[in-house]
């Protein structure tokens, strides 16, 4: 028995060695330069072992192959293609999108809310759900939901005024502040419920959302789930704990039933999903594209929550950091807000007026260039694809291969952006040409671009309008400039985002704004 066990171990070790060897030589005859294969760690080893942030790891890998259009890398143990050429990226995301329809997540996700979301859906089912959700993000729907976002923004300023009356100065950690802010915004627009997470810090909706963000998506479980697919499926691993699934399902389904029974119509995502379920209360309700299950409907609300909460609060957090660190930019934006307020002449802010704020656009665009929420994009090749005109010959990307688009690398490449690590909104403000969609990808590109990108931008700009209309954002003793990123997948400051909020009606502010 002992000898048989030893023999079995030897055979297993040999098979494992051959498996690793095949991975290591995958790119040998592919006409590309490629990264060294490191078992289980791949090309993002410093990210996996907790030494670097995802953003920094992507930029480092991007710079490592300067001048190359396509290189071979390893996504843990899986060979993948790393695309560095903007025109090639445009080909696969727009011109020849039918070759690269799906994300790699569609290959590994078990049956849970994240797996049933539009982000993870594949092929025709994805197209049908995209068509179902698209009406929620048209210009007319943005105008209707704008009032809900404005209400939450005003609520946030009221909270600061209460702090102002209570404390000698307002010193705040902005990530937590904006997480609560966005929790309330998404609660009202996606789930049809009202919360005040700044005042009621322990409300159930915020606690459940925070648990999902903190303990599932950005820990080792996230990496394991998506990079060890066979083992994850064998162990029947779930990305979401069942109690979170059940909570969100109950919340959405009960809400929809209550609205139908009580003939309630509200301008939010829930109403769009009621159309999709054939539960519309409006005369012009859309005809359902296909029959969606309750779980599939709930999943769209969930991914809207997940994508919106952390991504938008992150965008706002880095905006306040950059405005604090670059006071001249902050003063210019505050001046535009003041001028816009005068134009409104006592009327509340509206969607059209906000859309005309050019410097606001420039500031937000520049923040998303430097600190966008997705350091990389990925696609899975669904049909063999040939990359032509390569110096070393054509490259064949085969069906099933994964490709990565290094967004953070492109956004910080001096070939496309002068002095790329400098926060400079003027590059979007003074340049008459539109943003180059081949080198500016904060929300992705092509048909699979983030469906809620206009909504996210509306949220960020509305919050900034109200916040900077009442307070300037200043350095405090806890502030860290320049910031140092925390290792891991999530974009976070190692030392937090601490600032001092100074009311605009004080002498301190008046001296500062005129200095």
Per domain, the residue ranges of the chain are 31-65+80-513
Digit-by-digit pLDDT tens for the chain (515 residues) are 667 677 777 777 666 656 666 777 889 888 899 999 888 888 999 998 889 999 999 999 999 999 999 999 999 889 999 999 999 999 999 999 999 999 987 554 555 777 888 888 999 999 998 988 887 788 888 888 898 899 999 999 999 999 999 988 999 999 999 998 888 888 888 777 888 898 887 888 888 877 776 654 444 566 566 556 666 666 666 666 777 778 888 888 888 888 888 888 877 778 777 776 666 555 445 566 677 888 888 888 888 887 777 889 999 999 999 999 999 999 999 999 999 999 999 999 999 999 999 999 999 999 999 999 899 999 999 999 999 866 678 899 999 999 999 999 999 999 999 999 999 999 998 765 557 778 999 999 999 999 889 999 999 999 999 999 999 999 999 999 999 999 988 889 999 999 999 999 999 999 999 98
Angle, CA of 280, 283 and 288, to the nearest 5°: 45
Which residues fall within 8 angstroms of residue 40, CB to CB, at 6 or more apart? 48, 76, 77
pLDDT score recorded for residue 205: 84
**Topology, domain 31-65+80-513:** Cytochrome p450 (1.10.630)
pLDDT score recorded for residue 19: 62
CB of 320 closer than 8 Å to CB of 174: yes
Q: Are strands 33-34 and 70-75 parallel, antiparallel or unpaired?
A: parallel
CB of 106 closer than 8 Å to CB of 117: no
Which residues fall within 8 angstroms of residue 109, CB to CB, at 6 or more apart? 115, 120, 239
CB of 107 closer than 8 Å to CB of 80: no
Q: Does the model's pTM come out above 0.85?
A: yes
CB of 102 closer than 8 Å to CB of 126: yes
Q: Return the SS3 of 84.
A: coil
DSSP 97: G
How far is Cα 267 from Cα 143, in angstroms, rounded to an integer? 10
CB of 185 closer than 8 Å to CB of 149: yes
CB of 119 closer than 8 Å to CB of 103: yes
In sign, the C-alpha dihedral spanning 448, 451, 457, 460 is negative
How far is Cα 482 from Cα 173, in angstroms, rounded to an integer? 16
pLDDT score recorded for residue 79: 94
pLDDT score recorded for residue 432: 59
How many C-beta neighbours within 10 Å does residue 281 have? 15
As a residue count, the chain comes to: 515
Closest CA to 319 of 309, 308, 310, 329: 329
How many C-beta neighbours within 10 Å does residue 100 have? 23
3-state secondary structure labels for all residues of 60-90: HHHHHCCCCCEEEEEECCEEEEEECCHHHHH
How far is Cα 426 from Cα 358, in angstroms, rounded to an integer? 10
DSSP element (H, E) containing 73: strand 70-75
Which parts of 191-293 fold into alpha helices (H)? Answer: 204-212, 220-227, 229-234, 242-262, 269-276
R_g (Cα) of the chain, nearest Å: 24
pLDDT score recorded for residue 218: 47
Which parts of 263-380 fold into alpha helices (H)? Answer: 269-276, 294-325, 327-344, 351-355, 358-371
């Amino acid at each position: 028995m002992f000898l048989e066990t030893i023999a079995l171990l030897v055979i297993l070790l040999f098979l494992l060695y051959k498996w690793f060897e095949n991975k290591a030589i995958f790119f040998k005859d592919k006409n590309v330069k490629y990264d060294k294969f490191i078992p289980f760690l791949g090309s993002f080893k410093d990210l996996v072992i907790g030494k670097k942030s995802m953003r920094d790891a992507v930029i480092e890998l991007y710079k490592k192959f300067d001048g190359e259009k396509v290189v071979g890398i390893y996504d843990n143990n899986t060979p993948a293609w790393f695309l560095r050429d903007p025109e090639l990226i445009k080909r696969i995301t727009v011109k020849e999108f039918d070759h690269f329809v799906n994300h790699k997540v569609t290959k590994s996700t078990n049956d849970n809310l994240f797996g049933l979301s539009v982000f993870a859906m594949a092929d025709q089912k994805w197209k049908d759900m995209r068509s179902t959700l698209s009406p929620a993000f048209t210009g007319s729907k943005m105008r209707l939901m704008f009032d809900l976002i404005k209400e939450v923004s005003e609520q946030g300023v009221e909270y600061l005024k209460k702090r102002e009356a209570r404390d000698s100065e307002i010193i705040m950690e902005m990530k937590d502040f904006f997480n609560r802010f966005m929790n309330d915004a998404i609660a009202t627009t996606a789930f049809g419920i009202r919360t005040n997470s700044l005042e009621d810090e322990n409300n159930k909706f915020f606690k459940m959302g925070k648990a999902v963000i903190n303990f599932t998506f950005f820990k080792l479980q996230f990496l394991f789930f998506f990079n060890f697919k066979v083992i994850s499926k064998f162990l029947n691993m779930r990305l979401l704990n069942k109690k979170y699934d059940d909570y969100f399902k109950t919340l959405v389904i009960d809400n929809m039933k209550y609205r139908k029974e009580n003939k309630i119509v509200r301008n939010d995502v829930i109403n769009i999903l009621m159309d999709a379920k054939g539960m519309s209360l409006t005369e012009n309700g859309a005809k359902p594209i296909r029959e969606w299950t309750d779980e599939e409907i709930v999943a769209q609300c969930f991914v809207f929550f997940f994508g919106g909460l952390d991504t938008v609060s992150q965008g706002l957090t880095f905006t306040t950091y950059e405005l604090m660190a670059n006071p001249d930019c902050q003063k210019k934006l505050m001046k535009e807000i003041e001028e816009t307020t005068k134009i409104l002449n006592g009327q509340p802010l509206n969607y059209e007026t906000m859309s005309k704020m050019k410097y606001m656009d420039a500031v937000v665009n520049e923040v998303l260039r430097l600190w966008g929420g997705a350091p990389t994009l990925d696609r899975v090749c669904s049909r063999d694809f040939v990359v032509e005109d390569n110096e070393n010959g054509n490259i064949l990307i085969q069906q099933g291969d994964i490709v990565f688009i290094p967004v953070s690398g492109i956004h910080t490449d001096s070939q496309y952006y002068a002095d790329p690590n400098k926060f400079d909104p003027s590059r979007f403000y003074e340049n008459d040409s539109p943003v180059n969609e081949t080198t500016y990808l904060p929300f992705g590109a092509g048909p699979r671009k983030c469906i809620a990108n206009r909504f996210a931008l509306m949220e960020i700009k509305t919050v900034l309008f109200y916040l900077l209309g009442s307070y300037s954002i200043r350095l405090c003793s806890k502030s860290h400039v320049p910031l140092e990123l925390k290792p891991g997948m999530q974009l976070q400051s190692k030392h937090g985002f601490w600032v001092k909020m100074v009311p605009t009606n004080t002498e301190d502010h008046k001296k500062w704004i005129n200095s």
